[in-house]
C-alpha cells in the first residue's frame, strides 16, 4: 500500500517516520543500532553503522509517494546525502527538508499536516502545462 505523505524526523539516535493523512498519524520508529558520534560542519558523520541505520530508514520509506525530512542539525542532511548516493528512487520523492528540534508528537503532527496541506494547495493553484 502506498502512503501518500510521509515525514521522517531524524536525529543521532532514532528516526521517527510519520505517515500523514487527514484522519490519523501513523508512527514507526527506527533505532540507530550503534551510537552516533556528533559531527561538526566541516567533518563527516562518524556513526559506526550509520549507513545501515540510513538504509533501514530508506526501506521504511520505500512505499511513500512524497517524503519530508525534518530534524535537528546534521543527521537529516547526512541521511539525504546517503539517499542521493544510494537510492535514486527514494531521493526523487523528497519534497523538502526542515530544521526542527525535538517537538512532541502532537506538535509535529500539526506541523506536518499543515506542511502537506500547503503543498497540495500550492500544487493545485499552479497553471496546467500545455
What would the pLDDT profile of 15-51 be if each residue is shown by its tens digit? Answer: 999 887 766 667 677 777 644 444 444 454 444 456 7
Burial 58-86 (b: 16+ CB within 10 A, else e): bebbeebebbbbbbeebbbbbbbebbeee
| The pLDDT of residue 37 | 42
Domains of the chain plus CATH, in order, are 3-125 (3.30.420.60)
Amino acid at each position: 500500500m502506498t502512503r501518500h505523505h510521509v515525514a521522517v524526523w531524524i536525529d543521532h539516535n532514532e528516526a521517527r517516520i510519520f505517515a500523514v493523512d487527514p484522519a490519523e498519524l501513523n508512527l514507526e520508529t527506527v533505532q540507530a543500532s550503534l551510537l552516533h558520534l556528533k559531527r561538526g560542519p566541516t567533518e563527516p558523520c562518524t556513526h559506526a553503522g550509520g549507513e545501515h541505520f540510513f538504509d533501514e530508514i530508506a526501506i521504511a520509506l520505500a512505499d511513500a509517494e512524497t517524503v519530508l525530512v525534518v530534524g535537528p542539525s546534521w543527521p537529516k542532511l547526512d541521511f539525504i546525502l546517503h539517499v542521493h548516493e544510494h537510492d535514486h528512487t527514494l531521493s526523487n520523492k523528497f519534497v523538502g527538508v526542515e530544521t526542527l528540534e525535538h517537538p512532541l508528537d502532537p506538535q509535529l503532527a500539526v506541523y506536518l499536516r499543515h506542511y502537506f496541506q500547503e503543498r497540495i494547495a500550492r500544487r493545485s493553484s499552479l497553471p496546467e502545462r500545455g
